[in-house]
Chains A and B, each alone.
Chain A
Amino acid sequence: MTSGVDLGRPQTQSVGSDEDVVRVRQLVRTAAVAVRLSLVDQTKVVTAASELARNTLVYGGGGTVEVTAIDNGRRPGIRIVFADSGPGIADLDLALTDGYTTGGGLGLGLSGARRLVDEFDIQTAPGQGTRITITKWSR
């Protein structure tokens, strides 16, 4: 699980259309700049958020994204939670395999997003929806 203390209130964005994915990206970018992530880390976390928000939309049938600025005492960071109440993921290992896709994409979104962030937590079960929490710390 992610560690660290919340700083301020989380910002929420519902995800129901392609435009919302763009809004999520903007929200994450603003938050990433606010906690002083480097340009590379900003780009990485924005890209990861873009992948996961699109998964929420395409596979989860829409949901919500929550962005929070956090601090673990040594450095600030950003935590993003993607939640949907869609069908969930039956085989997580398979879903996290590079190149595996059920939707005609490149099959790199979920696995790639995991490589782009510092902490990655996924809670899912068939019929239970999916909840992914990612954290990126400032260096």
Chain B
Amino acid sequence: MALSADESVRLGELLTSRAEPVTQRWTETIARQLRGRLSQAELVRQVQELHRAMVDALSKGAVDLNAEEATELRAVLAEFSRGQARQGFSATETATGVFALKEALLSTLKADQSVETLRDYVAFSAFVDQMGLFTFETFVRTRESLIADQAEQLLELSTPVVKLWEGVVAVPLVGTLDSARAQVVMERLLQTLVDTGSPYAIIDITGVPAVDTQVAQHILKTVVAARLMGADCIISGIRPQIAQTIVALGIEFGDIATKASLADALRHVLRLTGVETSRRQSRREA
């Protein structure tokens, strides 16, 4: 709902003439809500900035938050909202920060009870609602982008390729192996095989809660790709319940070596590379 040109001017005048009490009351209302989670100085600065942007937009004749004249006001609101989202305030707290202006306006209007004043208040209030909703939307968008960033970071974090031994790298998989992660895992593993010149790779699935056909297919594809590059893959971390499920599903791993634990897999590789013979010797000596 847009303000009429007159209402816009009157709201601008009201905000200018009663700047002091309005901002003060506004700040108090927000402060009560946030209970000291934001420093007073910071809060005062934010409110004053919002106030200034509003006065500015209204003086230019903005009748609607989407109007050209209100571009800067929108920017200030968006900045306010993003700040709140980053600092962990809730959506309600953020939007109420803007809605608090209504209470501040009401308190300055109280003395005058004419019908015009009421009408003005309703119009102002609609404008503030628009601002509140805009803040809310920006807040949600900010949160969504934060979540998307975190998901990406998690993807990076959760797929390390570690060197276990000379010529042996391992990928400990933890959590859900969806297509996106499977892709990252495969790329990382193949790159590490090239970088380290390792002939053996162990894919450990101890941390994968359920191995369904999709997960199995991703693993099989990774193994085949590694083989094409001349590396041998061993799958480890097959727990009893996973083994039974794989059998019931009918998935076949063919001639791919599988082991119950990462230790077994490493021992298997070391035996293949002849490292274990030295260990047997040392045992005999002892």
Chain A 42-53, CB-CB to B under 8 Å as 1, else 0, gives 111011001100
A131 in the interface (beta carbon within 8 A): no
Give complex CA distance A54, B212 in Å. 10
A18 to B212 alpha-carbon distance, docked (Å):
14
Q: Does B240 count as interface, using CB distance less than 8 angstroms?
A: yes
What total count of A-B pairs have CB within 8 Å? 66
The one of A46, A51, A112, A113 in contact with B209, judged by C-beta atoms closer than 8 angstroms, is A46
Cβ-defined contact, B209 with A54, below 8 A: no
The answer, among B178, B210, B213, B241, for a CB contact under 8 Å with A105, is: B213
Q: Count residues of chain B with CB under 8 A from any CB of chain A.
A: 20
Q: Is the CB of A25 within 8 A of B210?
A: yes
Q: Mark A86-115, 1 if CB is under 8 A from B, else 0.
A: 000000000000100000011011011101
Q: How far is the CB of A68 from chain B (nearest CB, A)?
A: 20
Contacts of B178 in A (CB 8 A): 18, 22
Contact call B212/A51, Cβ cutoff below 8 A: yes
B126 adjacent to chain A (CB < 8 Å): no
- Residue among A18, A29, A47 with most chain B CB within 10 A: A47
| A39 smallest CB distance to B (angstroms) | 5
A51 — which chain B residues lie within 8 A by C-beta?
A: 212-213, 249
A40 within 8 A of B: yes
Bound form: Cα–Cα A25–B245 in Å? 15
Chain A contacts of B213 at CB under 8 A?
51, 105-106, 108-109, 112
Which residues of chain B have C-beta atoms less than 8 A from A42's C-beta?
241
Q: Which residues of B contact A106 (CB under 8 A)?
A: 213, 216-217, 251
Partner of B250, one of A46, A105, A108: A108
Chain B residue with Cβ nearest A54: B214
Of the candidates B179, B212, B217, B240, the one whose C-beta lies within 8 Å of that of A47 is B212
Q: Answer yes or no: B248 CB below 8 A from chain A CBs.
A: yes
Q: A29-B209, A51-B212, A106-B217 are in contact. Are A43 and B176 (CB under 8 A)?
A: no
Q: Is the Cβ of A115 less than 8 Å from the Cβ of B176? A: no
Contact yes or no, A43 B217, CB < 8 A: no
Within 8 A of B (CB), among A11-52: 18, 22, 25, 29, 39-40, 42-44, 46-47, 50-51
B270, CB-defined interface residue at 8 Å: no
A116 within 8 A of B: yes
Could you tell me the distance in whole angstroms from the C-beta of A95 to the nearest C-beta in chain B?
Answer: 14
Would you list which residues of chain B between 155 and 196 have a CB under 8 Å from chain A?
Answer: 176, 178-179
Cβ-defined contact, A116 with B210, below 8 A: no
| Contact indicator A50/B210 (Cβ below 8 Å) | yes
Specify which chain A residues have a CB less than 8 angstroms from the CB of B241 in the assembled complex: 39-40, 42-44
Known contacts A40-B240, A106-B217; A112 and B176 CB within 8 A of each other: no
In whole angstroms, what is the CA distance A15 to B214 when docked?
17
A18 touches B179 (CB 8 A): yes
Report chain B residues within 8 Å CB of A39: 241
Is the pair A43, B214 in contact by a Cβ cutoff of 8 Å?
no
- Contact yes or no, A105 B214, CB < 8 A: yes
What residues on A are CB-neighbors of B245 within 8 Å? 40, 43-44, 47, 116
Chain B proximity of A22: nearest CB distance (Å) = 5
What is the minimal beta-carbon distance from A70 to any residue of chain B, in angstroms?
22
- A44–B211 Cα gap in the complex (Å)? 10
A115 touching B249 in the complex, CB below 8 Å, given contacts A18-B179, A109-B212: yes
Q: Is B244 among interface residues, defined by CB-CB distance under 8 A?
A: yes
In the complex, what residues of B have CB within 8 A of residue A109's CB? 212-213
CA distance A111 to B213 in the complex (A): 11
Can you name 10 A-B residue pairings with CB atoms under 8 Å?
A18-B178, A40-B241, A43-B242, A51-B249, A105-B213, A106-B213, A111-B250, A112-B251, A116-B245, A116-B249
| Residues of B bordering A, CB below 8 Å | 176, 178-179, 209-214, 216-217, 240-242, 244-245, 248-251
In the A-B complex, the 5 residue pairs with the closest CB atoms: A112-B249, A43-B241, A50-B212, A40-B241, A106-B213
